[in-house]
Chains A and B, each alone.
Chain A
Amino acid sequence: MSLTDVMSAADLSSWTELALILCFITFAAIVFWVFVMRGKASYENLRNLPLDEDGVNSSRAAAKGGEL
């Protein structure tokens, strides 16, 4: 029995519905995750990375052992 036979015998419509539901749940979970999470302050450093390129970050990083 080839993979083609297996795929052809499967009920495709239920596969797509299942895929759709899984995708939607994933998407909803991501949205939920983003909007309920806390710790905004911890993101401030990351937001500022593009503005932080001329050594300002470096001195702070050095003080923290190279890690931010």
Chain B
Amino acid sequence: MTAEIEKFTYDDAIVRKFTLMTFVWGVVGMLVGVIVALQLAAPYFNFELAFLSFGRLRPLHTNAVIFAFTGNAIFAGVYYSMQRLLKTSMFSKTLSHIHFWGWQAIIVAAALTLPLGITQGKEYAELEWPIDIAIAVVWLVFAFNCFGTIAKRRERHIYVAIWFYIATLVTITLLHVFNNLVVPAGLWRSYPIYAGVQDAFMQWWYGHNAVGFLLTTPLLGMMYYFLPKAANRPVFSYRLSIIHFWSLVFLYIWAGPHHLHYTALPAWASTLGMLFSVMLWMPSWGGMLNGLLTLRGAWDKVATDPVLKFFVVAVTFYGMSTFEGPLLSVRSVNLLSHYTDWTIAHVHAGALGWVGFLVFGMIYWLLPRLFQTELWSRKLAEAHFWIGTIGILLYIVAIYAAGLTQGLMWLAFDDEGYLKYGDFVETTLRLIPMYWVRVIGGLAYLTGTLLMGVNFFMTWKRRPATYDVPVHEAPALAKTYTDRPEPESTLQKSGAHVVNLAYKLDRFFSTTWHRRWERLPLKFTVAVLVTVVVASLFEIIPTFLIKSNVPTIATVTPYTPLELAGRNIYLAEGCYNCHSQMIRPIRAETERYGDYSKPGEFVYDHPFQWGSRRIGPDLQRVGGKYPDLWHLRHMDDPRAITAGSIMPAYPWLLTGDLDFDFVESTMRAHRMIGVPYSDEEISGGVMAAREQARAIAAEIVVQGGPEGLAEKQIVALIAYLQRLGTDITKPEPLAVEEETGPAEAATETVDTAAAVEEAS
């Protein structure tokens, strides 16, 4: 029987839109990247303007390049390849349009709110709850459109690229929802339901897997489609793609805690993350080899085709990054690399090399097809390739050098056993030349992207007056499908059990069952979901439910209303982008910063503020270290206090009024997530905050500072900074109340000494 041949067209208009916005947001994200790089080399580029300060712009850079540039590129690649691999148009043009405009609106909302200091204060998850809800809705629209397309396909088999898309759709949904569970305290302010250790765990479960399932799996899917297309050769090994896919999906989800070595996260969790990270090396390199070997016999084309050049460098950087990632996850290497620019170099090798170049290669391949004309200039594309490559090399070589310099200087002791570089700024000053090289590298990369814009525009100009919409033909899939039945074995009946077992094993390894899965998208999706959820729960459940993970410290109490307000300012200014609040239990850190951090110190921290890099020193024990006036002058003009500091000035905090009206709603939101504020404390919150503010303002005057600061934002921030890390030095209360912390885990009361013992 011959199936009815159906005619259909592909919707390339939506691909054109996403491709254009990939370029537009790419330029924006990279431009902001160059600005923040400039600010680190020369802090006067902060211009003493709140909305241009580093702490607010850096999240804009990361969000723009991850969600706007890469996001739009992924959508362009998915919409183009999925239609063709499934031999159907997208499920719904309306959904495609809602997806496109919704995503652009989200990006605009991010671009407006982040410079205004509206943030959740968690890296790569800064956007506030209304935008998070919009992201979830638009993402589900995208997912629905994709699964609908799969449902109406005319190709029974689902190609490997679509497996990676499915993994992305499933996992990003989970990550986004569970890391952004918050309690709002107004339209533009919220607090995560998790605190301290648990929040850190969830954040890096999210953060690492966002790299895995937003910057890796969809791009691998695109690699499996666009690389064979560009090379006009099939993928090297379909079998290798199977192992690449399943092992990547299975292993990646465990790896997040390696970001938290030597922190207050229990060692078992970070060790587990490390082990799975090391195992990840194998599937990652399997994928890299699969990509590069696809070009076997076609390497001559690489010399002349800029698209293949971009792809080859992209896949090579994928291999380099996925080798370096497991290396950095090893505890002893992490000791040196963590908090340094080494991590930044690693991230940018992956982002600029793997993500950026794969996207550029895809765009150059798409442009002639989308605009139905030849690429305007291959030479310009070649120029983009070389300028971009030089830009990457300048960037990463300088920042690898900066990272190693930082790590080694921070750990160095002199012959007498003192810190060799006890003043933090000594290291900073050593890095400035490398930061300038980074600016040049970033500018080169941006210049290359602008050249692509010229090529994009000129190619678009040469488009036909009306686009030709080819009509394709393919037979409809039968409504019902039954696999060929397994050949019947007579071995069982004849009693040859051993031979029968061997026969069954042989059938198993013939992989018929996996090919059957490839025809069953629902089953395939459920398998991915189970893989991801089970692996996540193996780490999440013990982290949340085992009491000894977070021994409560009796002297740790909730923040005062003013400190809470100060913490809001700390979050809004993005201080976590430069300062950690996590002293690792190693001598180089305890000598420099003070007693190492204990899990129980963070039970009221919604969100945690451990940070991931130290452009400035750790602040965990900064409380009481300097007078109030020192903080005021430091925030007003950092270089007047520390010559050579690259910290931005925050003069607006000295003149901006503190919004006391938010105190009560902030306290109420915190109580909802487990912070034990009483009704009286909440109703008297504003009064208590004003009282503490007046006391700090008076103290500043006594110390020789200006008058009239009791209503200003700076006093709240000073209150918060002076509180940091001081709880463990307070005398223990006489009667210890058994208290339930924000996480149910925090119910065990132990004294500070016991906590120290347990943590060690």
A-side residues, CB < 8 A to B, are 3-4, 7-8, 12-13, 15-16, 19-20, 23-24, 26-27, 30-31, 33-40, 42-51, 53-55, 57-58, 61-63, 65-68
Contact = CB atoms under 8 A, between A and B. Distances in A.
Nearest to B6: A58
Interface of B: 1-3, 5, 81, 84-85, 87, 154-157, 159-161, 224-225, 228-229, 232-235, 238-240, 242-243, 246-247, 250-251, 254, 268, 272, 275-276, 279, 472-478, 481, 508-511, 515, 518, 538, 541-542, 545-548, 744-745
B2 A65 contact: yes
A50 B81 contact: yes
A39 B545 contact: no
Given A39-B510, A62-B3, 11 more contacts: A12-B542, A16-B272, A23-B250, A27-B250, A30-B243, A37-B239, A47-B238, A50-B81, A50-B161, A58-B473, A66-B478
B515 A58 contact: no
Contact of A50 (B156, B229, B510): B229
Contacts of A15: 542
A38 B548 contact: no
B271 to A, nearest CB: 8
B2 A13 contact: no
Of residues A13, A54, A58, A63, which shows the largest number of chain B Cβ atoms within 10 Å of its Cβ?
Answer: A58
Given A46-B157, A50-B81, A30 B247 contact: yes
The secondary structure that dominates the A interface is helix
13 contacts: A4-B546, A12-B546, A27-B247, A38-B510, A44-B234, A46-B515, A48-B234, A55-B473, A61-B475, A66-B476, A67-B156, A67-B477, A68-B157
A16 B225 CA distance: 38
B159 A46 contact: yes
B38 to A, nearest CB: 42
Of residues B477, B508, B515, B545, which shows the largest number of chain A Cβ atoms within 10 Å of its Cβ?
Answer: B545
Nearest to A8: B547
A66 B275 CA distance: 46
Contacts of A16: 268, 272
A54 B472 contact: yes
A66 to B, nearest CB: 3
Nearest to B276: A23
A35 B282 CA distance: 14
What 6 pairs across the A-B complex have the smallest Cβ distances?
A66-B3, A47-B234, A7-B545, A58-B474, A66-B475, A43-B238
A37 B268 contact: no
A47 B235 contact: yes
A56 to B, nearest CB: 10
A4 B745 CA distance: 7
Contacts of B242: 34
A67 B481 contact: yes
A58 to B, nearest CB: 4
A34 B240 contact: yes
A46 B548 CA distance: 51
A40 B240 CA distance: 12
B247 to A, nearest CB: 6
Nearest to B232: A51
Contacts of A7: 541-542, 545-546
A32 to B, nearest CB: 8
A46 B85 CA distance: 10
A12 B160 CA distance: 37
Nearest to B545: A7
Nearest to A40: B239
Nearest to B4: A66
A66 B481 CA distance: 10
B546 A37 contact: no
Contacts of B156: 66-68
Contacts of B246: 30
A51 B84 CA distance: 10
Given A47-B238, A58-B474, A65-B2, A33 B511 contact: yes
Contacts of B225: 50
B477 A34 contact: no
A51 B234 contact: yes
A39 B511 contact: yes
A19 B54 CA distance: 42
Given A20-B272, A67-B156, A27 B477 contact: no
Contacts of A3: 545
Of residues A7, A46, A50, which shows the largest number of chain B Cβ atoms within 10 Å of its Cβ?
Answer: A50
Contacts of A30: 243, 246-247
Nearest to A32: B509
A49 B155 contact: yes
B383 to A, nearest CB: 29
